[in-house]
A = this chain, B = another copy of it.
Amino acid sequence: MTTIRDVANHASVAPMTVSRVLNQPDSVSPETRQRVEESIAALKYVPNMLGQGLRKKRTMALGLIVSDITNPFAIQQIRGVTRAARENGYTVIFGHTESDSEEELQQLRALIERRVDGIILSPVYNTPESVNFVQGQKLPVTVLDYPMPENDVDVVRCDTHLAARELTDYVLDLGHRRVAMLSGDRAIVTARERAEGFEEAMAARGYSAPVEYGHFTPESGYEMALGVLRSENRPTALVTASNFIALGAAEAARELGLSIPEDLSIVTFDNARTDTVLDPFFTGVVQPIAEMATVATHFLLDRILQRYSGAGRDEILPTIFEVHRSTAPYGPS
């Protein structure tokens, strides 16, 4: 593969001059510059970022780690970060962990081995190990989605606790009284926060607040919904902790012959407003993913370019509430 030396020989200049043509074109005379550029084209020279990164001590690459790439939510994060990075001249190297915290550390290690300039992490759990690992390498890191109580680190997230209360209040305002929550893995802070918000909103009006913990998957949503909807005095509304759970719950309702929203209302989180969904079905809370990704990228670049070096920042962006077709007022229609 062509090196800068090959180009230099071809153009009868020193390697340094070629390097200057690429990095500070103004410091080279126009004639030389043109000769070098012709040689670059003739030899199809593509710079070697390994050598460059080694010398410059930066790679112009950001690492991004998401937990579940099958989630549209993660896809939007990838797109947002990629776009923001590119606008600043950075490439994104990206890994996914299939929601396995061991794999998360592996992926982080792979990014560090490649000497990315910084990492944006949407972690599996909000335990401190991952962030500690990265910061132990003196590498800047920004966390997406979760608060990280044990780390001094920049975080970009929404207040899901608050959103859960709003969501629940909306259902109660529609007149529903028997409401159940289907949440995710209890080990995941988001699952707990959303359940807590639900419990508080229900308690505030004096209703009991049954919560099921499962996983953030359609299968689990299906199972939980089946259990809840088969009970006597079945709920007339469900609050679900993710779009996947909502999908599974809707399937369970269909199987039990319940129409949505006539017989059962569903509100949900994470109903990512993606380009791929022409006509959203679920009423619920949307996170401003694109904006979160942009802010996270800027936070990271602030650290990389040493524009900021203070304590960890905690940016909380507002969620967006959207009414669609999965909810209806309580009562015989």
Contacts and interface: CB of A to CB of B under 8 A. Distances in A.
Q: How many copies does the complex hold?
A: 2
B59 A69 contact: no
A42 interface: no
Given A137-B44, A248-B278, A93 B93 contact: yes
Nearest to A108: B46
Contacts of A311: none
A50 B46 contact: no
Contact of A115 (B48, B275, B278): B48
Interface string A47-58: 111110110000
B276 A46 contact: no
A136 B48 contact: no
Interface stretch (A8-16, A74-82, A154-162, A195-203): A74-82
A218 interface: yes
A302 B325 CA distance: 51
A90 to B, nearest CB: 10
Contacts of A115: 1, 48-50
A247 interface: yes
Nearest to A54: B50
A29 B222 CA distance: 57
Interface in A4-58: 44, 46-51, 53-54
A262 interface: no
A247 B59 CA distance: 41
Interface in A53-93: 53-54, 59, 61, 69-72, 75, 78-79, 82, 91, 93
Contact of A278 (B78, B247, B277): B247
A96 interface: yes
A279 interface: yes
A278 B49 contact: no
Interface string A240-264: 0000100110010000000000000
Contacts of A53: 50
Contacts of A112: 46
A109 to B, nearest CB: 6
Interface in A175-192: none
Interface of A: 1, 44, 46-51, 53-54, 59, 61, 69-72, 75, 78-79, 82, 91, 93-94, 96, 109-110, 112-115, 136-138, 217-219, 222, 244, 247-248, 251, 274-279
* Top 7 A-B pairs, shortest CB-CB distance: A218-B278, A49-B113, A50-B54, A50-B50, A50-B53, A46-B112, A70-B276
9 contacts: A1-B137, A1-B138, A49-B113, A50-B59, A51-B54, A70-B276, A91-B110, A222-B278, A247-B278
